[in-house]
Amino acid sequence: MTTVVSLSAEAIADRVRDARTRGARLRIAGAGTWLDAGRPVGSSEELSLAAHTGITEYTPGDLTLTARAGTTLREIRDAVSPHGQWLALDPFGSDEGTLGATIATASAGPLATRFGTPRDLALGLEFVSGRGATVRGGGRVVKNVAGFDLTRLLTGSWGTLGVITEATVRLHARPEADVTLAVSPSDDRIDVGGVRAALKRWPFVPLACEVVNDSLGRELGLGGEAVVFRLGGNSESVAEQRRAIAELAGGPAREVDPSVWRSLRAADDDATLVLRVSRAPAEVSAAWADATALTAPFASARVSASPARGIVRCATQAVGASIEQYASTLAGLRSRIVAERAPVHLWNAPPLARAADPLQSRIRDAFDPQRILNPGILGERAVS
Amino acid sequence: MTSSRGALAPASPPPAIDRSLADRLAAIVGDKRVLFRPSELLTYASDALPSYHKQPGLAVFPGTRDEVVAVVRELARSNVPFVPRGAGTGLSGGALADGAVLVGLNRLTRVIAVDPENLTATVEPGVVNAALSRAVAPHGLHYAPDPSSQAACTIGGNVAENAGGPHCLKYGVTTNHILAITALLPNGEIVSLGSASGETDGYDMVGCFVGSEGCFGIALDITVRLTRNPEAVRTILADFLSLDAAARAVTSIVATGIIPAALEMIDQATIRAVEASIYAAGYPTDAAAALLIEVDGADAGLERDVATIESICNSSGARTVRVARDEAERARLWQGRKKAFGAMGRISSHLVVQDAVVPRTKLPEVLDKVRRIGEDLRLRVANVFHAGDGNLHPNIAYDANDPDESARVQTAMHAIMRACVDAGGTITGEHGIGIDKLQYMDLIFSPDSLAAMCSLRDVFDPDRRSNPGKVVPMHSCREWHGARSARQDAAKGPPVA
Q: What pTM value is reported for the model?
A: 0.94
CA-nearest residue to A286 within chain B is B198
Contact call for B118 and A280, based on CB within 8 A? yes
Cα–Cα distance between A211 and B167 in angstroms, integer? 31
End-to-end CA separation in angstroms for chain B: 27
Residues 6 or more apart from A174 whose CB is under 8 A from it? A81, A84, A85, A86, B257
pLDDT at B225: 98
H-helix segments, B359-440:
363-376, 403-422
Neighbours of B479 (CB within 10 A): 14
pLDDT given for residue A6 in this prediction: 56
Tell me if B471 sits within 8 A of B213, measured CB to CB: yes
Of A173, A280, A287, the CB nearest to B257: A173
Q: What is the radius of gyration, based on Cα positions, of chain B?
A: 23
Region of A320 on the Ramachandran plot (φ > 0 left; ψ -120 to 50 alpha; else beta)? left
Question: Do A152 and B197 make contact, defined as CB atoms within 8 angstroms?
Answer: no
Contact B482 A132 (CB under 8 A): yes
Residue of B177, B178, B193, B197 best to disrupt the A interface, most CBs of A under 10 A: B197
Cβ of B429 and A137 within 8 Å? no
pLDDT tens-digit readout, A343-383:
887 887 777 777 678 999 999 999 999 999 999 998 876 55
- Give the strand pairing for B58-60 and B101-104: parallel
User: Phi first, then psi: what are they for A378, rounded to 5°?
Assistant: -100, 10
3-state SS class at A254: strand
Interchain contact, A378 vs B202, CB within 8 Å: yes
CA dist B240 and B290 (Å) reads 6
Q: What is the DSSP letter of A98?
A: B
Contact B396, B379 (CB under 8 A): yes
In B269-421, which ranges are E strands?
289-297, 318-323, 350-353, 356-357, 381-386, 391-392, 394-398
- Per-residue confidence (pLDDT) for residue A294, from 0 to 100: 84
Tell me the three state secondary structure of residue B142. Answer: strand
Kindly give, in sequence order, each residue whose CB lies less than 8 Å from that of residue A326, ignoring residues fewer than 6 positions away: A273, A294, A297, A318, A346
Chain A residues touching B453 at Cβ < 8 A: 147-148, 150
**Residue A384 pLDDT:** 41
B contacts of A116 (beta carbons < 8 Å)? 172, 176
Decide: A174 and A86 in contact? Cβ < 8 Å: yes
Residue A323 has, within 13 A of its CA and on its CB side, a CA count of 16
DSSP B24-84: HHHHHH-GGGEE-SHHHHGGGG--S-TT-----SEEE---SHHHHHHHHHHHHHTT--EEE
pLDDT tens, per residue, chain A with 384 residues: 445 545 688 999 999 999 999 999 999 999 888 888 888 898 889 999 999 999 999 999 999 999 999 999 999 999 999 999 999 999 999 999 999 999 999 999 999 999 999 999 999 999 999 999 999 999 999 999 999 999 999 999 999 999 999 999 999 999 999 999 999 987 767 899 999 999 999 999 999 999 999 999 999 999 999 999 999 999 999 999 999 999 999 888 999 999 999 999 999 888 988 999 999 999 999 999 999 888 887 768 999 999 999 999 999 887 665 667 777 788 788 999 999 998 887 887 777 777 678 999 999 999 999 999 999 998 876 554
Query: In whole angstroms, what is the distance from residue A264 CA to residue B405 CA?
Result: 64
**Paired strand residues for B293:** B236, B263
pLDDT, chain B, mean: 91
Q: Which residues of A touch B251 (CB under 8 A)?
A: 61
Question: Nearest CA to CA, how far is A367 from chain B (Å)?
Answer: 7
Q: Which of A17, A62, A278 sits opposite B360 (nearest CB)?
A: A62
User: By C-alpha distance, which of B127, B123, B137 is closest to B106?
Assistant: B127
Quote the pLDDT of residue B10: 47
d(CA B122, CA B31): 30
Q: How far apart are CA B252 and CA B274, in angstroms?
A: 27
- Three-class DSSP category at B246: helix
Convert B310-335 to b/e letters by CB count within 10 Å (16 or more is b).
Answer: bebbeebebbebbbbeeeebbebbbb
Q: Count CB pairs under 8 A between chains A and B.
A: 279
Is the separation of the CB atoms in A320 and A253 below 8 Å? no
Contact residues, chain A, for B430 at CB < 8 Å:
143, 145
Give tens-digit pLDDT for A196-239: 999 999 999 999 999 999 999 999 999 999 999 999 999 999 99
Picking from B257, B304, B361, the nearest residue to A59 by CB comes out as B361
Is residue B231 exposed (0-12), middle (13-18) or buried (19+ Cβ within 10 Å)?
middle
Distance from CA of B5 to the nearest CA of A (A): 15
Q: CA separation (Å) from A168 to A54, A138, B114, B363? A: 12, 9, 35, 19
Q: What pLDDT is recorded for position A323?
A: 66
Residue to test with chain B: of A83, A114, A143, A204, most B Cβ within 10 A: A143
Residues near B458 by beta carbon (within 8 Å), at least 6 away in sequence: A366, B1, B2, B3, B464
Helix (H, G, I), strand (E, B) or coil at A341: strand
**Would you state the pLDDT for residue B1?**
35
Q: Which DSSP helix (H) or strand (E) runs through B329? A: helix B327-338
Which residues of chain B are under the pLDDT cut of 70?
1-16, 478-497
